[in-house]
Chains A and B, each alone.
Chain A
Amino acid sequence: DVKVTQSSRYLVKRTGEKVFLECVQDMDHENMFWYRQDPGLGLRLIYFSYDVKMKEKGDIPEGYSVSREKKERFSLILESASTNQTSMYLCASSLWIVRGREANVLTFGAGSRLTVL
């Protein structure tokens, strides 16, 4: 079974803290994504990565950074957490398009609900 695992399901942090959200996939997918989900806004793309050490900004990258040192792992970093970053964070991965029928279908992790106080 295809699996995307997010390290923490629930986190509570204080304003100004550095926060790491970890995501690991075991499907040998090239693409990895971080979205945040807020009520009434759907999912919004923060960052994505096509390959190791490669990253591209999504629609709302401000206040976030990412790291992809290994193909299977994609980390989201909040350098200095703020209350407006309280949200559900969803990691996803997908195959590169040329690799077949299920390419570019996102497989999601269970989510990490972050509360910043």
Chain B
Amino acid sequence: AQKVTQAQTEISVVEKEDVTLDCVYETRDTTYYLFWYKQPPSGELVFLIRRNSFDEQNEISGRYSWNFQKSTSSFNFTITASQVVDSAVYFCAGGTSYGKLTFGQGTILTVHP
């Protein structure tokens, strides 16, 4: 069985601070996919990134960056210079090729002006 652990339940920061959300994915599968989703107050989950288990390249997209380390099964997400609009619940998830994902419990990020 797979397990996703998000270290932080809630994080509160002030605008322009950098913030890192931690995620650890435990599985016996050698090939898997990892994801981050954002759930803003409106409620609809929005896909942010997908990473394959055989690709350990870090990725940067604007203020967002992701660091995947297979040796520690960690897939951490960093927001640089956070903004109020980043306030949301962030979910890490993992799974195999069929789209059946296991989700973490979510991290509630609040960015104060």
Contact = CB atoms under 8 A, between A and B. Distances in A.
Interface string B79-112: 0000000000001010101111111111000000
Given A31-B98, A50-B98, A97-B97, A41 B105 contact: yes
Interface residues of B, number: 24
B43 interface: yes
A95 B35 CA distance: 15
Contacts, number: 63
Given A105-B50, A108-B45, A33 B99 contact: yes
Contact of A104 (B9, B37, B98, B104): B98
A45 interface: yes
Interface string A22-59: 00000000010101000011111100101000000011
Given A105-B50, A106-B47, A111-B43, A48 B100 contact: yes
